[in-house]
Structure 1
């Protein structure tokens, strides 16, 4: 098949207009356009390539048309774009930025004019001690700041660093949540009756669960009553080591707010565990904060033994609670540090005898006459069993 030169010329002549339609329409050579009407498919990149010869110059076109083009990524058919500014208007500066002016030469000392008075110093931030007290006219801190609804007055207060807060080795939350042994004493236990407001959504639980700020009813023991403002400890009770009474495990704190007939009404202000109706309530002991203090080493400290863990775990871990068979009568004080020491002697599964070594360090967080409640601070060997020896190693200053 033979294709004539005239046929080829006609085919090329028909194809070229279609190809031209896919690019930005440009005026005839020699004519300099001052504007461009956007067509479907146009972009600032292609318009800059067609009119300015370089697609990277598209910002010049955009800067001349900011009143029409709000976003350089989006231009719409029918928009009229200026390609050159009005006389004196340019898209980019025509001159370089002038160099900075030379620094002024200071005048002779004798001609120096008096300087303006220095600005008044900015007020220093409130010390953390004052922040903790909350300023005058507010309620004193009772150690329950973790559960109190506070109002932050400035960002400085909300972002206070831990470096500004001195370490307190004893805290009210640990004192009240640790629990203790009754030592056979008959304590005045009342009963937690449950929420005073019925559930809005019925649940399948047989016992109601209380949350923070729940209003609850309580029945005091026979012959007793609770007054508004009283702080009550809600506890679980179970059998303790032989000869040491019951184990008392706190689940939260309730502050009495009023009366409802013969029942007392209170608000849950702290939770330490699962608080449910039927648990016991008793007046909370007063906590005395020793403040920020460091321990002092003790030589020949008192010794005793581990009675039992508060919870039924086999291995010990930091923050776990243990009971000891020594208390106030033996010379222990709140905050004392003791070391739990492995008893040397034969082992069950080894021919080598065990050596006396430190297994853990504990801190006294609650005291009674014959027993102490301690919190595990550090653990080197977690297999601490009842009967393991303990020794006092440090005390807080009186």
Structure 2
């Protein structure tokens, strides 16, 4: 009886004391379920403290993520460095380390070795190709005003021959047949492929933006009259009257990646496709760099966001706003894809500098 009373007393004392123990500090979760609007960039900033470490998350989740530019709500991603919270110990804590004012904290995220430019350029995603062929193929380019020289034309589609023109036009689907007037000097042979395009805005003193809409392939072509083809890829609506030009294939360069450079060539942002309020990762842009500037597909350019003026009225030096990768290069300009963005205010006219160069 006495023993049970003692045990009850000990239990009654220990329970309140246990309730007063602070909860273990939360550790990085082992996984994260993607929410609408999130990107690898935002997740790296949230969990790793540095948005430029997003390739670390991508490398752990290549079985889930097909394209690092796009992650989708509901996907469960593994987080690097995740560890379960350690259980509270009954042993008294040893002497604590002295406070290091330079240590990482929620106010000073951890840093990685090397400059930001080196991290951007170093072995991009460990891919064997610095430029993705699919991104290159769908990218716009800058040509002469009026479009590419000697261009062909999408004359009509199979449906346009039997459907009344007054009916509402619909988007053509993949594998639908189309009839073409081939570009000047084009090889007419089944299996040959061409780009369909529509014209974008004229860039003063430069040329005109050419917006790629799809890829067509000659099939069951009779060899005379209008050429017969089918749509094998669609990037935007393919319609009657659109232009046709030779396909500009990307020359693969395996295991070749850009390296950071200092004092690279200066340029500017001329155009953003679809004119979004805030360009997102994967958006296509046009830059002022031309083939005469020595740029090639895979080079990286840093764009700067203006910060206005100080309270005293003096102009504030612009900050790094985005990093883009150059894709198609012509004598009129170059197109690029947005890889990363740190500022929302990246607008047409923004200054740029070449910060990573392909060998």
Task: Assess if the C-alpha contact under 8 Å between 2:265 and 2:353 holds in 1.
Answer: yes
C-alpha separation between the residues in 2 aligned to 1:225 and 1:168? 29
In structure 1, runs of 5+ residues without a counterpart are 1-145, 147-164
Task: Assess if the C-alpha contact under 8 Å between 2:148 and 2:245 holds in 1.
Answer: no
Displacement of 1:180: 0.8
Q: Does 1:179 align with 2:140?
A: yes
Q: 1:167 to 1:325 in 2, by over 3 A?
A: same
Match of 1:234, SS state, is strand
C-alpha separation between the residues in 2 aligned to 1:180 and 1:208? 26
Task: Assess if the C-alpha contact under 8 Å between 1:230 and 1:283 holds in 2.
Answer: no
- Structure 1 counterpart of 2:349: 387
Q: Does 1:289 align with 2:252?
A: yes
Displacement of 1:196: 3.0
Q: Does 1:373 align with 2:335?
A: yes
Task: Assess if the C-alpha contact under 8 Å between 2:217 and 2:232 holds in 1.
Answer: yes
C-alpha separation between the residues in 1 aligned to 2:148 and 2:127? 39
Displacement of 1:357: 0.7
Displacement of 1:239: 2.7
Q: Does 1:189 align with 2:176?
A: no
In structure 2, runs of 5+ residues without a counterpart are 1-66, 68-125
Q: 1:208 to 1:187 in 2, by over 3 A?
A: farther
Structure 1 residues 223-262: aligned runs within 5 Å: 226-260=188-222, 261-262=224-225
C-alpha separation between the residues in 2 aligned to 1:239 and 1:304? 19
Structure 1 residues 301-380: aligned runs within 5 Å: 301-343=264-306, 346=309, 353-380=315-342
1:305-324 Cα offsets, whole Å, 9 max, x none, are 11121322232211111111
Match of 1:240, SS state, is strand
Q: 1:199 to 1:167 in 2, by over 3 A?
A: farther
- Indicate the RMSD between aligned Cα atoms, in angstroms: 3.1
C-alpha separation between the residues in 1 aligned to 2:163 and 2:203? 42
Larger gyration radius, structure 1 or structure 2: 1
Match of 1:360, SS state, is strand
Q: 1:202 to 1:189 in 2, by over 3 A?
A: same
Displacement of 1:191: 1.4
Q: Does 1:263 align with 2:236?
A: no
- Structure 2 counterpart of 1:6: none
Task: Assess if the C-alpha contact under 8 Å between 1:175 and 1:366 holds in 2.
Answer: yes
Task: Assess if the C-alpha contact under 8 Å between 1:339 and 1:392 holds in 2.
Answer: yes
Displacement of 1:201: 9.2
- Structure 2 counterpart of 1:82: none
- Structure 1 counterpart of 2:33: none
- Structure 2 counterpart of 1:111: none
C-alpha separation between the residues in 2 aligned to 1:263 and 1:203? 20
Displacement of 1:374: 0.8
Match of 1:175, SS state, is helix
Task: Assess if the C-alpha contact under 8 Å between 2:186 and 2:246 holds in 1.
Answer: no
1:96-144 Cα offsets, whole Å, 9 max, x none, are xxxxxxxxxxxxxxxxxxxxxxxxxxxxxxxxxxxxxxxxxxxxxxxxx
Structure 1 residues 1-398: aligned runs within 5 Å: 166-184=127-145, 186-196=148-158, 205-221=167-183, 226-260=188-222, 261-343=224-306, 346=309, 353-397=315-359
Displacement of 1:243: 1.7
Match of 2:317, SS state, is coil
C-alpha separation between the residues in 1 aligned to 2:148 and 2:257? 36
State TM-score, norm by structure 1.
0.53
C-alpha separation between the residues in 1 aligned to 2:312 and 2:321? 19
Task: Assess if the C-alpha contact under 8 Å between 1:231 and 1:253 holds in 2.
Answer: yes
